[in-house]
Amino acid sequence: MKNLKDLTYGIVGLGIMGGSFAKAIRQNILSQSGSKGKILVCNRSTACLSMAVNEGIADEAFTQDKTSELLKKSDIVFVCLYPHATLEFLKNYKNDFKSGAIVTDISGVKGIFEKSLPELLRPDVDFIIGHPMAGGEKEGYAASNAKFFVNHNYIFCRQTFNSEENYNLMKTLVTELGFTRITETTCDIHDNKIGFTSQLCHVIASALVQSARDPEITAFGGGSFEDLTRIAMINAPLWTELFISNKEKLCAHIDSFQKKMEEFRTAIMEEDSQKLKEMLEETREKRLMMGSVCTVAK
């Protein structure tokens, strides 16, 4: 297997996630003694490129018009763009990747990639579909943090064409970056479950904030509202794309949630204390069976 500390890593899109990957790779892998590896970064705006180089995170920065140069030098490429922008990037730069390179994405929807695989594949380049279940509410390179990945989950949608060696290398890499749980699944199952655990939660948090009639309601907060709405401080363009790209699965989850909300409303309105207690007790038991959540790194 290739030695992680001797590889060249290409980061396309130096926002909060791309920046966090660059910082985590620098801190956890390339800081090891004897390391010969490099980090190359590319971004549409140039301010963050200068920051990454000046901070010692990136070895070399490339403007958007020099993207092909970065790709030709990179052994592992993280494409950290919005889902459809990632898809177009993979299509447009298909012939520019270094022979033998591993290319991966970080998108929150996967079905769009599986449908386009014939257009994306090159026999000498391994495209490994991945999704780091981590991040922060703010945007941009300045908000990136190597610790975002600690004790979090990484999802891979392994394909039959992925080589065993490359796949194992990626699992080792994300483990070195701090991820403690690796889940392997299909693109369809990914989109269905992420539609529930992530996208539905963002819809609910947003709806809760929007339903507040009193802008000063937080003066009466005790933590519950704050906990539930932390993720409502949302990147609107990104999440709009995620919601619409996964609309069938997400809307099915919304329908199911609305049904449960109506059951609670009916029990409360009819003062059916027995029904309400049963629902709440069932909720507690079901949540305990689901297991604990990941620790959020600070």
Contacts of 282 (CB under 8 A, 6+ apart): none
Q: What is the dihedral of CA 60, 63, 64, 65, to 10 degrees?
A: -110
Residue 75 exposure: Cα atoms within 13 Å on the Cβ side = 16
Per-residue pLDDT tens digits for 78-98: 999 999 999 999 999 999 999
Per-residue pLDDT tens digits for 154-194: 999 999 999 999 999 999 999 999 999 999 999 999 999 99
Provide the pLDDT for residue 221.
Answer: 81
Amino acid making up residue 275: K
Of all residues in the chain, the percent with pLDDT exceeding 90 is: 83
As a residue count, the chain comes to 298
Best CA proximity match to 102, nearest among 77, 69, 71:
77
DSSP codes, 29-52: TTTSTT---EEEEEESSSHHHHHH
pLDDT above 50: residue 25: yes
Amino acid making up residue 177: L
> Alpha-carbon distance 29 to 256, whole Å?
44
> Alpha-carbon distance 168 to 218, whole Å?
47
DSSP codes, the chain: ---GGG-EEEEE--SHHHHHHHHHHHHHTTTSTT---EEEEEESSSHHHHHHHHTTS-SEEEEGGGHHHHHHH-SEEEE-S-HHHHHHHHHHTGGGSPTT-EEEE--S--HHHHHTHHHH-BTTBEEEEEEEE---SS-SGGG--GGGGTT-EEEEE--TTS-HHHHHHHHHHHHHTT--EEEE--HHHHHHHHIIIIIIHHHHHHHHHHH-S-TTGGGG--SHHHHHHGGGS--HHHHHHHHHHTHHHHHHHHHHHHHHHHHHHHHHHTT-HHHHHHHHHHHHHHHHHH-PPPPPP-
Across 107-119, average pLDDT: 92
Task: Report the predicted TM-score, pTM, of the whole model to 2 decimal places.
Answer: 0.89
φ and ψ of 140, to 5 deg: 90, 165
In the predicted model, what is the mean pLDDT of the chain?
93
Look up tokens 């022979």; give the residue: 99
Residue 217 exposure: Cα atoms within 13 Å on the Cβ side = 13
The domains of the chain, with CATH numbers, are: 4-185 (3.40.50.720), 190-290 (1.10.3660.10)
Provide the pLDDT for residue 292.
Answer: 59
Pick the more confident residue, 235 or 7. 7
Residue 33 exposure: Cα atoms within 13 Å on the Cβ side = 0
> Alpha-carbon distance 87 to 268, whole Å?
47
